Structure 1
Amino acid sequence: MNKNKMSLGTLAWPIMIEMFLQFAIGTADTLMVSRISNDAVAVVGFANQFFNAVLIVFMLVASGAGILIAQRLGAGQQRDARVLGTMAIVITGALGIIVSITIFFGAGTFAEALNVPHEILPDADTYMTIVGSGMLLTALNAALSTCVRNTGDTRSPMYIAFGMNIFHVFLNACFIFGALGFPKWGLQGVALSTVIVRFLAVLVLLRLFRHAFGSKIAWSEFFKFKPKLLKEVIRIGWPMSLNGASWTISQLAIFSLIGIMGTHELAARTYMNTMESFAFTVGWSLAVAAQIQIAYMYGKDMRREAYYSCYRAMGAGMLLVTLNTGLMLVFRQPILQYFTDDPWIIDTAITLLWLNLILQPGKMLNMALGQSVNAIGDGRFSMMVSLPSMWILAFGLSYALGLSLDWGLYGVYVGMILDEYTRGIIMWFRWRNHRKAGKLADRIGAPAVDAKGAVQAGTM
């Protein structure tokens, strides 16, 4: 494999653009739906939080398989990498079918259980039923793109995301506003557009996946399982999946608390999610790129390079997310007024943007170190740290400060800030420990030697 293909910059920029484009789908939805009503925006925001929680179920296998694919390719074990990929797709697809059926019959029940405000409950039921029925497509999208990225090909998923965005906006214009003679379906049109675009993306990604491991993967290979490899996937994947599920469910629980505060607060948080995504995307893309690179280097026994890759990603990310948030603050008025003309929502969002100057660097610290630890198979420790922190600090303080003390959304942000920095600092000590006495210790700090036992110059 071309070494430059696994450089941090080569991996990161297509992921960054792809994620910007995917978040742009959500932004397009928010902008277009905001022309319907603030209630419709609240429906989309709440439903997307729910679907993000469901998505974590599909990552149980895909996340573990992705790391192992990069490690195996680094070690030159191409055949195992192929099997890991096909197993991940089949198992994730089966989970997607089960989840799609469950949501189709139970969308309204889920919405009620999550405290969706009564006035938007019918719309939430309709939207969640349509989009939830296509969760199989969401599952396959996530698994296919994860496997392809971990082969080092981060550009192709980016191109697919670009095509999805253009077509999604086109379909939104047709289905929401009745362009080109289509009926004006409103919120239902957004849901239909989402499902159609995801279906087309799966078709393209599946073709890409079958050519991602050298020779074309035959359909018969999707029925080949290696229990030993599957055991490794589950061992690495379950802590990451549980960690991700807990975080997403905690965010959904926080959204539920905000739903109790009122529709205005829910709409404001939805607008903020959309704006924050542009800072979050920069940091997350660097963290994902670092994970792929570190897993590849770890498999290739390049332990020293793997260790310092984490810090390169974290440093670049800190700078970029802070700059990104600063730009949003500079242009806060025109940005917010483009979303809504509600003065309460605008004033609240401006204050929350200032809090983001503190929040986003903490997120970057946590993401870079967390993904690095996962890349070398230490996801269980990350899970053990994250679960109590996100529930005690992020959710607990959101309830105590936001509801009990009536701080509203400001209390929610204080809880999130303390959670991100607490986890990030603990993971920093863990990563340093891997250099001294952990998985990287045997390769860090000791000079390399040649075949005759002589110390090689310039290795330290």
Structure 2
Amino acid sequence: MKIQDKSKKTKYSLWLLAWPIFIELFLQFLIGAVDTLMVSRISDNAVAVVGISNQLFNALTTLFATVASGAGIVIAQKLGSRKEEEARTVAIIALKVSAAIGFGLSMLLVLFPRPIAIMLQLPHDLLPLAETYIAIAGGGMILAAIMTALSTAIRSTGNTKAPMYTAVGMNIIHIILNYCFIFGALGIPQMGLTGVAISTVASRLLATFVLLFIFLGAFQRRIEIKDIRVFDGKLFKEVMAIGWPLGVSMANWVFSQLAIFSFLAILGSLELAARTYMNTLESFCFLLGYSLALAVQIQIANQYGAGKTKEAYNSLYRALVVGLPLVTVNALIVVLLGKYVLGLFTSDADILALCSSLLLLNLVLQPGKMINMALGNALNAVGDTRFTMVISLFSMWIVATGFSYYLGVSMGWGIVAIYACMIADEYLRGVLSFFRWRDRKYLRTREESLKREQELAVGRQAESGVIVEV
């Protein structure tokens, strides 16, 4: 038993959970940049269509990510409390529900691509391209939904390496297929943006099969085809109790970012271009912090389920001790080297000058992001998702979005003011989450629940003893 506990402790260590997540996210970011570069060889219009369509796809992803994220936390909690069968059931339910949502979204995008493109305010000359891309790439949303459910479930068992290897393979195949379809390599006809859409769906399909194979053996009792009928209303309710506030929080972030980008568009192409380039640089800092935040969420959820509330409480601070210096150093490196990297993308002196001031603000922003993400994910891990939803509703829309418009657009203080508002939002949510975590509300509730369970168990044993004596 001690060997198993030691193995389990190692499996859920912060470093072993975090590094595969970071590599997976980093490669997705890197391949995404290469993907955009390759699409730019088709035309600027193709890049615009892909960019706007992907914003739509990201927004729709929150619908099935709600179920997958909630299920991931519940799975880690159940495995921590050694309720293996319940964790297995939750994973199956999440897969079915996510697939159903994905199928509905796919049908919507396949059947109504043109009205959707018009709704996105795309210029008339881009509609034919957008119609094709949305129909084909959007038709693969069911695959994205299934992949999200599978990878989240697998990751929540402590196996973060398998989704990483799968993502690496998927992205390599995607780039190879892109090259073939765009440039007509290996005897494949040039298909332009249509080929890029087909490449996206084909690489996702292969990744889905790989993840499904891993998923079937992810739990002690192998998942079989007949298990597709498995459903437990009580467990699904438990998933959604955690999941729906997570979904609202994710939607808040997606749509508040869309709103902020629209404010930048009002300011002008200079500001919009500067923010776009800064997004690329910031990702190096953000991905590291986000990987640690996801890892500590899995770790704390498992410890919470196991009743190790003191360990769960301290795990958050250990993650911050590791994460804050790493993120800060990364942000400092970006400040020092940022202007040289930006020079690879643009030679516009005005954009470079604007980005120089934003690089210094990014040095303040990234530690705030790390604090907020780690604390928010820690609260989510113990089921306190409604609190993170409420503060995100308040802070993202009033501080980040509302004040960005007022100070940046109405008052004319520009993109620097907008950055300042985003910084204020991160630190405000971080501070509120810190006091909530320090209060230990959900951890104390868990301790009381475990105490009652122990008292009931002792009572049953005593009662059984009386019967035996009689």
Q: TM-score normalised to the size of structure 2?
A: 0.87
C-alpha displacement at 1:33, in angstroms?
Answer: 3.3
Q: CA 1:41/1:405 → structure 2, altered by over 3 Å: closer, same or farther?
A: farther
Structure 2 residue aligned with 1:318: 324
Deviates more, 1:122-131 or 1:50-59: 122-131
- C-alpha distance after superposition, 1:291-349 (max 9, x if no partner): 11101001111111100111111222222222222222333244223334455444443
* Equivalent position amino acid for 1:400 in 2: Y
Structure 1 residue aligned with 2:465: none
Is residue 12 of structure 1 aligned with residue 18 of structure 2? Answer: yes
* Equivalent position amino acid for 2:325 in 1: L
- Structure 1 Cα separation of the partners of residues 139 and 412 of structure 2: 37
C-alpha displacement at 1:128, in angstroms?
Answer: 3.3
Structure 1 residue aligned with 2:242: 236
Structure 2 residue aligned with 1:305: 311
SS for the counterpart of 1:153 is coil
C-alpha displacement at 1:64, in angstroms?
Answer: 1.3
Which structure 2 residues correspond to residues 19-38 of structure 1 after superposition, within 5 A? 19-36=25-42
Is residue 64 of structure 1 aligned with residue 70 of structure 2? Answer: yes
Contact 1:168–1:194 under 8 Å retained in 2? yes
Contact 1:117–1:259 under 8 Å retained in 2? no
- Structure 2 Cα separation of the partners of residues 178 and 257 of structure 1: 40
Structure 2 residue aligned with 1:270: 276
SS for the counterpart of 2:82 is coil
- Structure 1 Cα separation of the partners of residues 332 and 128 of structure 2: 38
Is residue 168 of structure 1 aligned with residue 161 of structure 2? Answer: no
Q: CA 1:98/1:408 → structure 2, altered by over 3 Å: closer, same or farther?
A: farther
Is residue 143 of structure 1 aligned with residue 149 of structure 2? Answer: yes
Structure 1 residue aligned with 2:257: 251
Contact 2:77–2:306 under 8 Å retained in 1? yes
Deviates more, 1:88-97 or 1:236-245: 236-245
- C-alpha distance after superposition, 1:166-222 (max 9, x if no partner): 222212222233333444444444333222211111111111111100232101112
Structure 1 residue aligned with 2:79: 73
- Structure 2 Cα separation of the partners of residues 179 and 349 of structure 1: 38
C-alpha displacement at 1:136, in angstroms?
Answer: 0.8
Q: Which runs of 5+ in 1 are unaligned?
A: 444-460
C-alpha displacement at 1:280, in angstroms?
Answer: 1.1
- Structure 2 Cα separation of the partners of residues 333 and 39 of structure 1: 28
- Structure 2 Cα separation of the partners of residues 89 and 427 of structure 1: 31
Q: Which runs of 5+ in 2 are unaligned?
A: 450-470
Contact 2:382–2:443 under 8 Å retained in 1? no
- C-alpha distance after superposition, 1:15-50 (max 9, x if no partner): 111111122221222333344555544443333332
* Equivalent position amino acid for 2:175 in 1: V
Q: CA 1:399/1:115 → structure 2, altered by over 3 Å: closer, same or farther?
A: farther
Q: CA 1:182/1:47 → structure 2, altered by over 3 Å: closer, same or farther?
A: same
Q: Superposition RMSD on alpha carbons, in Å?
A: 2.5
Is residue 354 of structure 1 aligned with residue 366 of structure 2? Answer: no
Which structure 2 residues correspond to residues 274-423 of structure 1 after superposition, within 5 A? 274-423=280-429
Q: TM-score normalised to the size of structure 1?
A: 0.89
Contact 1:65–1:88 under 8 Å retained in 2? yes
SS for the counterpart of 1:214 is coil
- Structure 1 Cα separation of the partners of residues 277 and 378 of structure 2: 31
- Structure 1 Cα separation of the partners of residues 154 and 298 of structure 2: 11
Identical amino acids, percent of aligned pairs: 52
- Structure 2 Cα separation of the partners of residues 255 and 10 of structure 1: 36
Name whichever structure is richer in helix by fraction: 2
Contact 2:106–2:142 under 8 Å retained in 1? yes
- Structure 2 Cα separation of the partners of residues 38 and 140 of structure 1: 32
